Structure 1
Amino acid sequence: MIGSGGVHEEASARGTVVTEAAPRSLADLVPGARATVALVVADGAPAMVRRLHDLGFTPGAVVEAVRRAPLRDPILYRVKDYEVCLRRAQAACVHIVEVKR
Protein backbone atom coordinates (compact mmCIF):
# COMPACT_ATOMS: atom_id res chain seq x y z
CA MET A 1 0.00 0.00 0.00
CA ILE A 2 1.29 3.48 -0.77
CA GLY A 3 0.73 5.95 2.00
CA SER A 4 1.11 9.70 2.07
CA GLY A 5 4.29 11.20 0.70
CA GLY A 6 5.11 8.30 -1.64
CA VAL A 7 6.06 6.00 1.23
CA HIS A 8 5.51 2.29 0.68
CA GLU A 9 3.87 0.51 3.63
CA GLU A 10 3.95 -3.25 3.81
CA ALA A 11 1.96 -5.21 6.39
CA SER A 12 3.70 -8.10 8.09
CA ALA A 13 3.15 -10.34 11.11
CA ARG A 14 5.33 -8.07 13.26
CA GLY A 15 3.72 -4.80 12.18
CA THR A 16 4.00 -2.39 9.31
CA VAL A 17 7.29 -2.09 7.44
CA VAL A 18 7.75 1.32 5.84
CA THR A 19 10.23 1.83 3.02
CA GLU A 20 10.70 4.58 0.44
CA ALA A 21 9.08 3.57 -2.83
CA ALA A 22 10.99 4.75 -5.86
CA PRO A 23 8.68 5.47 -8.78
CA ARG A 24 9.03 2.66 -11.33
CA SER A 25 7.78 2.41 -14.85
CA LEU A 26 7.25 -0.56 -17.13
CA ALA A 27 10.29 0.59 -19.17
CA ASP A 28 12.50 -0.22 -16.13
CA LEU A 29 11.34 -3.85 -15.90
CA VAL A 30 14.08 -6.33 -16.83
CA PRO A 31 13.29 -9.37 -19.01
CA GLY A 32 11.87 -12.22 -16.94
CA ALA A 33 10.56 -9.93 -14.18
CA ARG A 34 6.86 -9.53 -13.40
CA ALA A 35 4.96 -6.52 -12.10
CA THR A 36 1.46 -5.29 -11.42
CA VAL A 37 0.18 -2.17 -13.17
CA ALA A 38 -0.52 0.58 -10.63
CA LEU A 39 -1.38 3.54 -12.85
CA VAL A 40 -1.25 4.65 -16.48
CA VAL A 41 -0.45 8.33 -17.11
CA ALA A 42 0.63 10.35 -20.14
CA ASP A 43 1.06 14.10 -19.79
CA GLY A 44 -1.05 15.80 -22.42
CA ALA A 45 -1.80 12.57 -24.32
CA PRO A 46 -5.14 11.06 -23.25
CA ALA A 47 -5.16 9.02 -26.48
CA MET A 48 -2.00 7.22 -25.30
CA VAL A 49 -3.63 6.35 -21.97
CA ARG A 50 -6.71 5.06 -23.78
CA ARG A 51 -4.59 2.94 -26.16
CA LEU A 52 -2.59 1.39 -23.30
CA HIS A 53 -5.83 0.60 -21.44
CA ASP A 54 -7.26 -0.97 -24.60
CA LEU A 55 -4.13 -3.13 -24.90
CA GLY A 56 -4.71 -4.51 -21.38
CA PHE A 57 -2.47 -2.28 -19.27
CA THR A 58 -5.11 -1.59 -16.64
CA PRO A 59 -4.54 -1.16 -12.89
CA GLY A 60 -4.12 -4.58 -11.28
CA ALA A 61 -3.04 -6.38 -14.47
CA VAL A 62 0.08 -8.55 -14.15
CA VAL A 63 2.72 -7.83 -16.80
CA GLU A 64 5.90 -9.76 -17.59
CA ALA A 65 8.81 -8.38 -19.61
CA VAL A 66 9.62 -11.13 -22.14
CA ARG A 67 12.57 -9.73 -24.08
CA ARG A 68 14.20 -6.58 -25.42
CA ALA A 69 15.42 -5.71 -28.89
CA PRO A 70 19.22 -5.48 -29.25
CA LEU A 71 19.22 -1.69 -28.82
CA ARG A 72 16.78 -1.87 -25.83
CA ASP A 73 13.84 -0.60 -27.86
CA PRO A 74 11.15 -1.92 -28.35
CA ILE A 75 10.37 -4.33 -25.51
CA LEU A 76 8.04 -7.34 -25.68
CA TYR A 77 5.61 -7.72 -22.73
CA ARG A 78 3.14 -10.47 -21.83
CA VAL A 79 -0.14 -9.13 -20.44
CA LYS A 80 -3.52 -10.88 -20.12
CA ASP A 81 -2.61 -14.00 -22.15
CA TYR A 82 -1.02 -12.22 -25.12
CA GLU A 83 2.19 -10.43 -26.04
CA VAL A 84 2.49 -6.72 -26.82
CA CYS A 85 5.51 -4.84 -28.11
CA LEU A 86 5.95 -1.28 -26.77
CA ARG A 87 8.57 1.41 -27.25
CA ARG A 88 10.29 2.67 -24.09
CA ALA A 89 8.45 6.02 -24.30
CA GLN A 90 5.09 4.21 -24.28
CA ALA A 91 6.15 1.82 -21.49
CA ALA A 92 7.28 4.79 -19.38
CA CYS A 93 3.62 5.85 -19.12
CA VAL A 94 2.77 2.67 -17.19
CA HIS A 95 3.64 2.87 -13.47
CA ILE A 96 4.20 -0.49 -11.82
CA VAL A 97 4.72 -2.30 -8.54
CA GLU A 98 7.14 -5.20 -9.00
CA VAL A 99 5.91 -8.67 -7.98
CA LYS A 100 8.25 -10.73 -5.79
CA ARG A 101 8.61 -14.35 -6.88
Structure 2
Amino acid sequence: MARINIRKMQVNQEGTIASVKVGGELGRRLRDMGLVPGTPIKIQGRAPLFDPVALRVKGFTLTLRNNEADLIDVEVNG
Protein backbone atom coordinates (compact mmCIF):
# COMPACT_ATOMS: atom_id res chain seq x y z
CA MET A 1 0.00 0.00 0.00
CA ALA A 2 1.25 3.44 -0.91
CA ARG A 3 1.06 6.33 1.55
CA ILE A 4 0.15 9.76 0.12
CA ASN A 5 -1.59 12.83 1.44
CA ILE A 6 -5.22 13.60 0.64
CA ARG A 7 -4.31 16.48 -1.66
CA LYS A 8 -2.62 14.08 -4.11
CA MET A 9 -5.55 11.64 -4.31
CA GLN A 10 -7.72 11.43 -7.43
CA VAL A 11 -11.51 11.73 -7.57
CA ASN A 12 -13.19 8.40 -6.63
CA GLN A 13 -9.95 7.09 -5.11
CA GLU A 14 -10.34 5.35 -1.75
CA GLY A 15 -7.98 4.89 1.15
CA THR A 16 -7.60 4.64 4.90
CA ILE A 17 -6.27 7.48 7.02
CA ALA A 18 -2.78 6.58 8.24
CA SER A 19 -1.85 9.71 10.19
CA VAL A 20 -2.86 13.28 10.97
CA LYS A 21 0.33 15.34 11.19
CA VAL A 22 -0.89 18.32 13.22
CA GLY A 23 -1.67 19.02 16.83
CA GLY A 24 -3.25 21.91 18.66
CA GLU A 25 -6.59 23.42 17.74
CA LEU A 26 -6.48 22.36 14.07
CA GLY A 27 -5.57 18.79 14.99
CA ARG A 28 -8.44 18.63 17.46
CA ARG A 29 -10.87 20.04 14.90
CA LEU A 30 -9.82 17.46 12.28
CA ARG A 31 -10.19 14.62 14.79
CA ASP A 32 -13.61 15.94 15.84
CA MET A 33 -14.70 15.70 12.19
CA GLY A 34 -13.84 11.99 12.18
CA LEU A 35 -10.44 12.22 10.50
CA VAL A 36 -8.58 9.74 12.69
CA PRO A 37 -6.17 6.92 11.75
CA GLY A 38 -7.97 3.80 10.54
CA THR A 39 -10.94 5.68 9.05
CA PRO A 40 -11.79 4.83 5.42
CA ILE A 41 -12.32 7.79 3.07
CA LYS A 42 -13.18 8.35 -0.58
CA ILE A 43 -12.44 11.47 -2.63
CA GLN A 44 -15.78 12.68 -3.94
CA GLY A 45 -14.75 15.73 -5.94
CA ARG A 46 -12.70 18.88 -6.27
CA ALA A 47 -13.49 22.51 -6.95
CA PRO A 48 -12.55 23.85 -10.41
CA LEU A 49 -9.23 25.22 -9.09
CA PHE A 50 -8.65 22.02 -7.01
CA ASP A 51 -9.26 23.78 -3.68
CA PRO A 52 -11.16 22.61 -1.64
CA VAL A 53 -11.39 18.82 -1.89
CA ALA A 54 -14.61 16.97 -0.98
CA LEU A 55 -14.38 13.56 0.62
CA ARG A 56 -16.76 10.97 2.05
CA VAL A 57 -16.10 10.08 5.69
CA LYS A 58 -18.41 7.94 7.84
CA GLY A 59 -21.42 8.52 5.57
CA PHE A 60 -21.15 12.28 5.14
CA THR A 61 -19.38 14.67 2.78
CA LEU A 62 -16.63 16.84 4.21
CA THR A 63 -14.60 19.52 2.43
CA LEU A 64 -11.02 20.41 3.32
CA ARG A 65 -8.78 23.18 2.09
CA ASN A 66 -5.57 22.00 0.47
CA ASN A 67 -3.47 23.26 3.37
CA GLU A 68 -5.54 21.02 5.68
CA ALA A 69 -5.48 18.07 3.28
CA ASP A 70 -1.67 18.25 3.17
CA LEU A 71 -1.60 17.34 6.88
CA ILE A 72 -3.37 13.98 6.46
CA ASP A 73 -1.62 10.88 5.09
CA VAL A 74 -3.70 8.08 3.59
CA GLU A 75 -2.80 4.50 2.66
CA VAL A 76 -4.16 3.70 -0.81
CA ASN A 77 -4.16 0.53 -2.89
CA GLY A 78 -1.90 0.77 -5.93
Matched residue type, 1:91: A
Which structure is higher in RCO with an 8 Å CA cutoff and minimum separation 6? 2
Amino acid at match of 2:29: R
Normalised TM-score (structure 1):
0.71
User: What TM-score do the two structures reach when normalised by structure 2?
Assistant: 0.91
Equivalent of 1:64 in 32, 38, 42? 42
Q: How do 1:3-82 residues align onto structure 2 when only pairs under 5 Å count?
A: 23-42=3-22, 45-82=23-60
Q: Percent identity?
A: 29
Say which SS state the counterpart of residue 71 (structure 1) adopts. coil
- What 5-or-longer segments of structure 1 have no aligned partner? 1-7, 9-20
1:88 aligns with 2:72: no
Q: Which runs of 5+ in 2 are unaligned?
A: none
Aligned to 1:16: none
Contact kept in structure 2, 1:36 and 1:99, CA below 8 Å:
no
| 1:18 aligned residue | none
1:38-86 deviation digits (Å, cap 9, x = unpaired): 11012xx511111111111111000100000000000110001100011
Please identify runs of 4+ aligned residues in structure 1 that moved more than 4 A. none
The amino acid of 2:61's aligned partner reads E
Pick the structure with greater CA Rg: 1
